[in-house]
Each structure stands twice: as C-alpha cells, then as structure tokens.
Amino acid sequence: MALEPLLSPRRKVVVLVGGVGGAKLAHGMAQIVPPEDLTIIVNTGDDFWHYGLRICPDFDTVMYTLAGMVDPVNGWGVAADSTAMLDALRRYGEQPWFRLGDRDLATHLLRTIGLRDGQRLTEIMARLAHSLGVGATLLPMTDDPVATMILTAERGEMDFQEYFVRFRWQPTVKAIRYAGADAAQMTPEVRAALVAADLIVFGPSNPWLSIAPILNVPEMRQRIASCPVPRVALTPIVQGQALKGPAAKIAAELGYEVSPRTVAEAYRGTINGFVFDERDAAVRLDNLYEFSDLRTISCDTIMQDDVSRARVARLILDWTASWEADHEHLGDHPR
Ligand code: FO1
C-alpha cells in the first residue's frame, strides 16, 4: 500500500535484514521508496537442507512480507497455508519439527530444482520474488553456503534451525560461528547495490544471528564501512527485551549488557547512525564511539502495522537526508 509520495530527493536505499523483524522495516521502506531504488540484502546463515529441500527462511519471510502474503500470526510462512504434506509425513511415522506449509513448499521445490540445475540462488530468488509481484530487489547476502552454527552449553554445537526451532532457542549460547563465510563470495548484485547506495540501513534484526552473518561475507564489512553515505542501524532491543526472538537472551548469555548500547557496539566501525527506542531515552548513548561521531535518534521503533512500518522508514529517510547538509560525517565524497 503506497502512502504519500517521497518528498526528499530520490535516493538508492539498501537494507540489511534477517527474518521477521527486518522484514517489517523492509516493508516500511517498500511503502515509501520506489521499487527501483530499494534493495534488500537478506541473511542466508539460517538456510539449511531439510527433507532434501533447500530452505531459506529469512529470504522467504522477506519475500512473502513484501508480496503481502506472509502469515500475519507467525510472521513467516504463507498466510492461511495448509499442512497436508506435514500430515502425510506423520502418517509415515516422521516427526517433522520444522513446519513447512503446502504453499510454502512450492518455493522450496523450485529453489531446490534451480540449485540442482546450477542456477545461482540470486537468480532463482529474483525470479520467484518477481512472480509474486515484489518490486524491490531482494538479494541473498551471497550465493555460497554459509551456516550459522550455535555452540550451546547443554548440547554442544548445532545448526541454527535446530537451535532456533527444534530447541526453541532454550539452550545457552556460548559462541556463534558462521561456517563457510570465509570462502563465500560477494555477488555482483550485492556489490553493485552497495556501490550505488545513498543510504544503508541495518534492520532491527538480531545483531549476532542475522546481521553478523551478512557482515562476515568477505569484503562486506569493509565495503559498507567505507561507503560515504549514512549507515544506520535500528536496535532490536527495547527496554531490556528483544522485540522478537532471542536477541536479549543471547546478549546476556554472551556477557553483554542487554541494552541498545550493546547493539550499537556490535556495529562499531560499520555504522555512523543509530536508532533506538524512545522508551530507552534514559540509556546513555553519548560517548558510544568516542572518536567517530555516531549520530543517534530515538523514536517509537515498534512496527505493529503497515502505518508504523512506513513511519519508522520515513523517519530514517528524513533524518539521514538532513545529514547531507553536513558532509563531514560522511567522508570526503558525499553523494
Ligand atoms: N519458525 C519456527 O519457530 N517454527 C517453525 O516450524 C518454522 C518453520 C518455518 C518454515 C518456513 C520458513 O520460511 C520459516 C519458518 N520458521 C519457523 C521461521 C524461521 O525459523 C525463523 O524465523 C528464522 O530462521 C529466524 O530469522
């Protein structure tokens, strides 16, 4: 649903996201940024093989959200999907712990066949997203396999979906690694989007589970850090709690203070702007990056509906547009 037309000058916007939380901001941006100016780079560290199918939960979550067909209750999967395939698996004695709906299955089938035929994930998903009517460009962070692995105190190391879904993020996290990230390559599409970007936004996604895998793709962190444009992150932690999922629990388990300060610290060296929630106005964010002039702003970051998503997106666009009067913060070559 388009709201008002964009008043500030047209800018190329790149948004980095994980799943449900990030998809909300991506959706807010999609309401106010022309599709040809919007690129969403999506975490693929959550991707895994399941019953012979390649599942890309974060990508699909963003795609379904922008297509207006995401399940409104879960925030992932297809709205009003049926479960005949899962029921049939149970009749064979299987105990499927990952809920793949019947319509959702079509996405996994076509993705898996495309990969088997040697196509790149970027190309396959561009085709599927286009078929669903998504106008913005959605890009996997890389075409190469990267797997977020969780070292837990109780059960040793496990892959992300086991930790997140099978064990309902209850095990204690001791460490996280991004297997395959070292060998992954940045795609030409991601590189081109970053080169053209006038604004880069990190969604209110989990810094360790969703954004860090993206930043760990070789070249990614350096390229983003050296973009002479506003690079703004939103906190997923509000009033000591995660907006959704295990961000607060993991922060505590890794020994960090559960606050937006920790989120901003996680992005040190990469961002030059940070959005935190007005409910955390008392949290001291000054002196965060002593020598780097991190700009901060607070607002109501909760994005419950279409209107609040567009409102947060608009705030980021307007706030960062106002920086352009002051080029010093953006490097020598302001866009
Ligand atoms: N999350 C769950 O908590 N339980 C599920 O059974 C589940 C199935 C699922 C199927 C397709 C899909 O695209 C996403 C799915 N998710 C499920 C969400 C997903 O595991 C997480 O939201 C992300 O990986 C974390 O960002």
Which ligand 1 atom sits nearest the alpha carbon of residue 100? 10
* Sign of the dihedral defined by the CA atoms of residues 161, 277, 216, 321, in that order: positive
CATH architecture of 13-330: 3-Layer(aba) Sandwich (3.40)
Q: Are 223 and 196 in contact (CB under 8 A)?
A: no
**CA 41 to centroid of ligand 1, rounded, Å:** 18
What pLDDT does residue 289 have?
78
Q: Which atom of ligand 1 is nearest to the CA of 19?
A: 26
Report pLDDT for 287: 73
**98 Cβ closer than 6 Å to some ligand 1 atom:** yes
**pLDDT of 334:** 37
- At 330, the amino acid letter reads L
Q: Please tell me the distance between residue 227's alpha carbon and the centre of ligand 1 in angstroms.
A: 33
User: By alpha-carbon position, which residue is closest to atom 12 of ligand 1?
Assistant: 57
> Which residue, among 152, 156, 158, has the nearest Cα to 170 in the 3D structure?
152
Q: Specify whether the CB–CB gap between 214 and 220 falls below 8 A.
A: yes
Distance 287 CA to ligand 1 centre (A): 38
pTM for this predicted structure: 0.94
- Predicted pLDDT at 333: 39
CB-based burial of residue 96 (10 Å sphere; 0-12 exposed, 13-18 middle, 19+ buried)? middle
| Residue 114, ligand 1, Cβ within 6 A | no
* Residue in this structure with the two tokens 């979906």, named with its chain if needed: 161
Give pLDDT tens digits for 77-121.
Answer: 999 999 999 999 999 999 999 999 999 999 999 999 999 999 999
C-alpha to C-alpha distance for 165 and 144, rounded to whole angstroms = 23
Q: Which atom of ligand 1 is nearest to the CA of 64?
A: 13
User: What is the CA 181 to chain-centroid distance, rounded?
Assistant: 17
d(CA 229, CA 4): 25
Residue 104 CA: which ligand 1 atom is closest? 11
Summarised one tens digit per residue, pLDDT across range 191-202 is: 999 999 999 999
Which pLDDT belongs to residue 74?
Answer: 97
37 CB near ligand 1 (under 6 Å)? no
Average pLDDT on 10-34 reads 97
- Whether residue 7 is predicted with pLDDT greater than 90 in this model: the reply is no
Which atom of ligand 1 is found nearest the CA of 160?
24
Number of other residues whose CB lies within 10 A of the CB of residue 242: 19
Backbone angles phi, psi at 85, to 5 degrees: -65, -45
Mean pLDDT over 9-17 rounds to 93
pLDDT in tens, 317-335: 999 999 976 655 454 333 3
In this structure, is the dihedral angle defined by the CA atoms of residues 109, 111, 115 and 118, taken in order, positive or negative? positive
CA of 204 to the centre of ligand 1 (A): 17
Place of tokens 């449900």: 20
pLDDT at 187: 98
170's CB contacts (< 8 A; 6+ apart) are: none
Q: In this predicted structure, what is the pLDDT of residue 8? A: 60
* Torsion (CA) 218, 220, 221, 227 in degrees, nearest 10: 140
Q: What are 267-304's pLDDT values in tens digits?
A: 999 999 999 999 998 887 777 777 667 999 999 999 99
Q: Is the CB of 48 under 6 A from ligand 1?
A: no
Q: Which two tokens stand for residue 1?
A: 């649903």
Q: Is 47 in the pocket of ligand 1 (CB under 6 A)?
A: no
Paired tokens of 81: 């999907």
- 172-188 tens-digit pLDDT: 999 999 999 999 999 99
If DSSP states are collapsed to H, E and C, what string results for the chain?
A: CCCCCCCCCCCCEEEEECCHHHHHHHHHHHHHCCHHHEEEEECCCCCEEECCEEECHHHHHHHHHHCCCECCCCCCCECCCCCHHHHHHHHCCCCCCCCCCHHHHHHHHHHHHHHHCCCCHHHHHHHHHHHCCCCCEEEECCCCCCEEEEEECCCEEEEHHHHHHHCCCCCCEEEEEEECHHHCCCCHHHHHHHHHCCEEEECCCCHHHHHHHHHCCCCHHHHHHCCCCCEEEECCEECCEECCCCHHHHHHHCCCCCCHHHHHHHCCCCCCEEEEEHHHCCCCCCCCCCCCCCEEEEECCCCCCHHHHHHHHHHHHHHHHHHHHCHHHHCCCCC
Hunting for tokens 């286009």 — which residue is that?
A: 130
CA of 156 to the centre of ligand 1 (A): 22
Q: 130-165, pLDDT tens digit by residue? A: 999 999 999 999 999 999 999 999 999 999 999 999
